């Protein structure tokens, strides 16, 4: 088990509407003997609508976060910056790539950082917590920490559009398996389904309320995921992105009406599932923030507490 603590960049969603993601990750990492240290004074990652307005400014925002992360580790050598929200994760990765390429953009952003007394040396690199869990902490350590195996729970692992795209840093771009291996490590059964990386429509919501810019398109995209997961017998959808989770969880009633097919399937953060298996208090995992949370009847009852239905 790793004794190292990790630098953590939460971003707005995993601190706001998806705060349960940060809470549960915090709890799980602590439980695994490590921990997350939030970058102080972090700012918006510059994903969402910003790049379409001014891409360079969007890069500058991410660059500041990376530079701050480097400041936290003054010694030479790489600094892993964990970004849980896959939108932030991609924004940071993209910025890394842009800054690694010498040219006017890199110069401009370097200048902007210098103006506020910062410097990006190229040491900070964005990593996703799923990557860390699978490839650094390791499945064995995670299995070993399980006190309540999720035997019998069928999980549809949903990677979303950005976790392995456009940058596939730790998993296959077309058929990622990291999350599947994680849920299997805690005793659950990952279902095989073809929509692991299909768009949830989350981006269509961005910058607006629920019925955002393109409600019809969004509903169709999310619906396809929920329908397919249900059809294939999943009890739950595991996600790695606050937007996906919000999208998939929040509008099932509306979609049921719109498409004439009843939907009722919890969509949770993968870290919440891991935490439950490790016996971490549900409050610390932000389970109470979920709109739907239900473990199937066929699962063995937990040793202590843990009601079956709570939705």
Taking the complex as a whole, the smallest distance from the CB of residue 175 to another protein amounts, in Å, to 4
Question: Which residue number, 47 or 156, has a Cβ lying nearer to another protein?
Answer: 156
The CA-based dihedral angle spanning residues 97, 66, 134, 181, taken in that order and rounded to the nearest 10 degrees: -70
d(CA 34, CA 272): 17
Interface mask (CB under 8 A) for another protein, residues 156-185, using x and -? ----------------xxxx----------
Considering the complex, state which of residue 143 and residue 259 has its C-beta at the smaller distance from another protein: 259
Beta carbon nearer to another protein, 120 or 251: 251
Strand partners, 124: 79
Residue 227 Cβ, how far from another protein at the closest point, in Å?
A: 8
Cα torsion 117, 120, 124, 128: sign: positive
Question: x/- binding map, residues 76-95, to another protein, per CB under 8 A?
Answer: --------------------
Write the secondary structure of 2-23 as one string of H (helix), E (strand) and C (coil): CCCEEEEECCCCCCCCCHHHHH
Q: Where are the alpha helices (DSSP H) in 15-103?
A: 19-31, 50-53, 55-72, 86-100
Binding mask 185-214 for another protein (x = CB under 8 A): --------xxx-------------------
Burial class (CB in 10 A: 0-12, 13-18, 19+), 102: exposed
Q: Which is nearer to another protein, 151 or 173 (CB)?
A: 173
Sign of CA dihedral 231, 234, 239, 244: positive
Residue 194 or 305 having the CB closest to another protein = 194
Q: CB nearer to another protein: give 71 or 228.
A: 228
Q: How far is the CB of 18 from another protein (least distance, A)?
A: 26
Q: Which helix (H) or strand (E) holds 218?
A: helix 215-231
Q: Binders of another protein among 212-251, rule CB under 8 A?
A: 224, 228
By beta-carbon proximity to another protein, the closer residue of 232 and 292 is: 232
Query: Closest distance between another protein and the C-beta of residue 267, in Å?
Result: 18
**C-beta of 260: minimal distance to another protein in Å?**
12
73 torsion bin: left (phi>0), alpha (psi -120 to 50), beta (else): beta
Cα gap 121→66, rounded to integer Å: 9
Which residue lies nearer to another protein by CB, 90 or 196? 196
Nearer to another protein, 172 or 281 (CB): 172
d(CA 272, CA 251): 20
Q: Per-residue string for binding with another protein, 99-128, x by CB under 8 A?
A: ------------------------------
- Residue 38 within binding range of another protein, rule CB under 8 A: no
In eight-state DSSP terms, residue 56 is: H
Q: Please report how close the Cβ of residue 118 comes to another protein at its closest, in angstroms.
A: 28
Please report how close the Cβ of residue 228 comes to another protein at its closest, in angstroms. Answer: 5
Closest separation in Å from C-beta 191 to another protein: 12
103: which 2 tokens? 């040219």
Binding site for another protein (CB under 8 A): 172-175, 193-195, 224, 228
């Amino acid at each position: 088990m790793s004794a190292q603590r990790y630098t953590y960049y939460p971003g707005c969603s995993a601190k706001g509407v998806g705060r349960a993601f940060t809470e549960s990750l915090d709890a799980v990492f602590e439980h695994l003997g490590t921990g997350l240290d939030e970058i102080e004074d972090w700012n918006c990652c510059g994903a969402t609508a910003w790049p379409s307005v001014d891409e360079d400014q969007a890069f500058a925002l991410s660059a500041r976060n990376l530079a701050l992360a480097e400041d936290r580790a003054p010694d030479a050598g790489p600094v892993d910056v964990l970004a849980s929200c896959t939108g932030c994760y991609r924004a940071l990765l993209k910025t890394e790539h842009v800054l690694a390429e010498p040219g006017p953009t890199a110069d401009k952003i370097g200048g902007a950082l210098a103006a506020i007394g910062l410097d990006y040396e190229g040491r900070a690199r964005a990593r996703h917590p799923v990557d860390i869990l699978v490839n650094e902490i390791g499945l064995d350590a995670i299995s070993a920490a399980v006190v309540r195996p999720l035997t019998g729970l069928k999980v549809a692992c949903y990677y979303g559009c950005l976790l392995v795209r456009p940058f596939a840093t730790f998993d296959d771009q077309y058929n990622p398996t990291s999350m599947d291996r994680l849920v299997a490590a805690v005793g659950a059964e990952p279902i095989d389904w073809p929509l692991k990386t299909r768009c949830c429509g989350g981006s269509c919501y961005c910058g607006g309320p629920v019925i955002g810019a393109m409600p019809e398109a969004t509903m169709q995209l999310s619906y396809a995921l929920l329908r397919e997961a249900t059809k294939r017998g999943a009890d739950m959808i595991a996600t790695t992105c606050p937007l996906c989770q919000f999208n998939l969880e929040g509008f099932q009633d509306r979609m049921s009406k719109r498409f004439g097919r009843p939907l009722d399937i919890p969509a949770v953060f993968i870290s919440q599932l891991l935490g439950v298996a490790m016996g971490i208090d549900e409050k610390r995992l932000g389970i109470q923030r979920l709109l739907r949370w239900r473990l199937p009847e066929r699962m063995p009852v937990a040793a202590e507490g843990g009601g079956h239905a709570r939705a």
